[in-house]
Structure 1
Amino acid sequence: MTKTLQADLASGALAEAIADIAEDAARLILPYWRADTAVETKADASPVTEADRAAEALIVTRLAALYPGIQTVAEEAVATAGAPDQAEAWFWLIDPLDGTRGFVEGRESYTVNIALIHDGAPVAGVVVAPATATTWVSAAGEGAGVLRRRFGEPWQTVRVRDRPTTPVALLSHSMTDDEAGRLAARHGCAQWQGMDSSLKFCLIAEGRFDAYPRTGPTSEWDTAAGQAVLEAAGGRVLGGDGQPLRYGKPSFLNGPFVALGG
C-alpha cells in the first residue's frame, strides 16, 4: 500500500483525494457553526465540539479506505486515548477543526487540516477554511506551488510574495497586544494582525502576509498541513534551531517556530 501512496503522491492523485476529503469534512462542520453547538472542555482545557469529532471520524474513515495500514495521528483520538509511542515512517497528522475556540465564538478563521508525513517531513497537506469555502493543497512535484480553489471552482496556483519593505506578521489571538507587537518586531514586522488557526500559513502562502512567529507550545497537527502548503508555495517553517520544523517528536509537540514567506 505504501507503493500506491507514493505513486499517488507523485502523480497528484493524493492531493486531489485529500482535498476532496477535507472539503467534505468542511461541509459536515458548517451546520454546527453559529448554531449554539454544545462545547465540552478537554483535559488540556481546550474546547471540543461534536463538529470536531464528526469531522475527524469522516477523515479517518476515508483515509483508511484509500490507504489502509498508514498510521493516523488525529487530535481528538489522541485526546481520548493518548498519543502513539512513536511515529512510523509514513503517517497522517489530522486536525479536524483547528481554531475551535474561534469557531465556537462565531469567527471565520477555523480550518480542516490533513497532512502526510514521511521521515519527519510534511510531504503533502491540505487546509480548508469552511466559512469561506476555500481550499489550499500542496501540488505534486518540487516547486509546483500551492493550488487554491473555492469549492467547485478550478484550481489556481498561488505563491509567497517577495518580502516587502514593510512586512506584516500574523499572530495568535491568544497574545496580548504588547506581546504581539514585540514578537512581530523581533521578526522585522512593524505591523501585525491577530488570527486563529492554520489559516495564517495559507495567507502567507498566497502572498498576503509575510511571517507567523509562535513562541507558545502547539501540537504537530496544528502546523503540519500548513507547513506543507507554505513550503510548496516557496515559504519556510523553521524551528528554534533554525532548521525546518520536523514531525514525530515526543508527544507530537512543537517548540517555538516561525513561518516565513519570501
Structure 2
Amino acid sequence: MKKLDRKFVNKVVQIAKEAGLIVMQIYNKPFTFQRKRDSSPVTKADLLSEKFISSSLQKLTTKIPVIAEESFSIKKNSRQLKKTFWLVDPLDGTKEFISKNGQFTINIGLIKNGKPIFGVIHAPAKRSTFFGLVKEKSAYQNSGRSFKKMTVRKKIKSGPMFALSRSHGKGKKLKSFLSKVKSYKKIEMGSSLKFCLVASGRADIYPRFSPTMEWDTAAGQAILEAAGGQVTDIKGKNLSYGKKGYKNPHFIASSGTRK
C-alpha cells in the first residue's frame, strides 16, 4: 500500500470531489429513483458515483480491493476481509438527495486489520470536505481553498448536543437513551455529516440505534477518531470492519468528553 502522505490524501480527496461533480449534475436536474430489495432508494447518481470512485481507487491502489454499497447489493458478496480494503458509500443519504435538502455525502474509508485508518467525506451540495488520518490524529475540514484542523469539543459546559439522524431518529431505543439525559440540545442531520458535527465540536454525541452498514460509518469513524473522538457499540466495544455481511451493531459516536 502507498504511504498515507499528503500527496496520497490529496488524490483521494480529489476523487471524492470529482464524484461530487458527477452527483451534482444529476441533483440539479429532474431525476427518478428505484427501490432496491431492501426497499431503500437508489438513483443514477449512486451508480455513476460508485463506478467512478471504484475505478479511480483501483488505479490508485491496484492491490487494495474496493467494497462499495451498490455493487455489494447486486452481487451479495459476503466474503470476509481481514487486511486492507476500501469501503465506499458513493451517495450516503440518498433520501436526503431525493428530498433535495443538501445533506448527502460521498464516503471513502480505508480499513486495515479491521479498523478505519483514513477517511474522506465530501458534501458536494454544501461544498465541504472532511478527512482524517487516525494514526496522525489529524482531522481537517475544507470549505474553500484551505483546510482547517478539527478537534472534538473538549468540555461540555451545559447539556450535551446530540447529532441525530433526520430519517432514522425516532425509534424507541433512541427515545429511551435520550430519556436518561436530564438536559440536552439536538441537531438533526442526514448522512455521515453527523460524524463531522461531532468531529468539528458542533455536537458531542451521535447515537445510532437503527441499521447501518460498514460503508456508512468507516470514513466518519476515521475522521472522528482523528479529531480525538471515539465510536463504540452500546457495550463500549470498538466497531470492527470486514465482517461477513458488513452490518454494524448499534453504536455511539462521541467526543469522549464528559461534563
- TM > 0.5: yes
Cα distance 1:177–1:116, how it changes in 2: closer, same or farther (>3 A)?
Answer: closer
- Provide the alpha-carbon RMSD of the alignment: 1.8
Q: Trace 1:77-156 onto structure 2 (pairs within 5 A).
A: 77-139=71-133, 141-143=135-137, 145-151=138-144, 153-156=145-148
Query: Which position in structure 1 is the counterpart of 2:161?
Result: 168
Quote how far apart the aligned CAs of 1:102 are.
1.1
Cα distance 1:141–1:102, how it changes in 2: closer, same or farther (>3 A)?
Answer: same
Work out the percentage of aligned pairs sharing the same amino acid.
36
Quote how far apart the aligned CAs of 1:141 are.
4.8
- Range with greater deviation from structure 2 (85-94 or 221-230): 85-94
Matched residue SS, 2:245 = helix
* Runs (5+) with no aligned partner, structure 2: none
- Contact preservation (8 Å) 1:83, 1:252: no
Cα distance 1:69–1:176, how it changes in 2: closer, same or farther (>3 A)?
Answer: same
Pick aligned residue for 2:149 from 151, 154, 157 = 157
**TM-score, length basis structure 1:** 0.91
Structure 2 residue 54 is the aligned partner of structure 1 residue 73: no
Quote how far apart the aligned CAs of 1:177 are.
8.1
Q: Distance in 2 between matches of 1:245 and 1:189?
A: 28
Quote how far apart the aligned CAs of 1:150 are.
2.0
Q: Distance in 2 between matches of 1:45 and 1:239?
A: 26
Pick aligned residue for 1:245 from 228, 239, 258 = 239
Matched residue SS, 1:113 = strand
Structure 2 residue 253 is the aligned partner of structure 1 residue 259: yes
Larger proportion of helix:
1
What amino acid is aligned across from residue 114 of structure 1 in structure 2?
I
Quote how far apart the aligned CAs of 1:240 are.
2.9
Quote how far apart the aligned CAs of 1:188 are.
6.7
What amino acid is aligned across from residue 135 of structure 1 in structure 2?
T
- Range with greater deviation from structure 2 (133-142 or 15-24): 133-142
1:107-161 superposed Cα distances (whole Å, 9 cap, x missing partner): 1110000000000000000001111110001147522x2111125x011111111
**Count of residue pairs brought into register by the alignment:** 254
- Contact preservation (8 Å) 1:73, 1:83: no
1:37-94 superposed Cα distances (whole Å, 9 cap, x missing partner): 1100000110000000000011001101111021111000001111241114000000
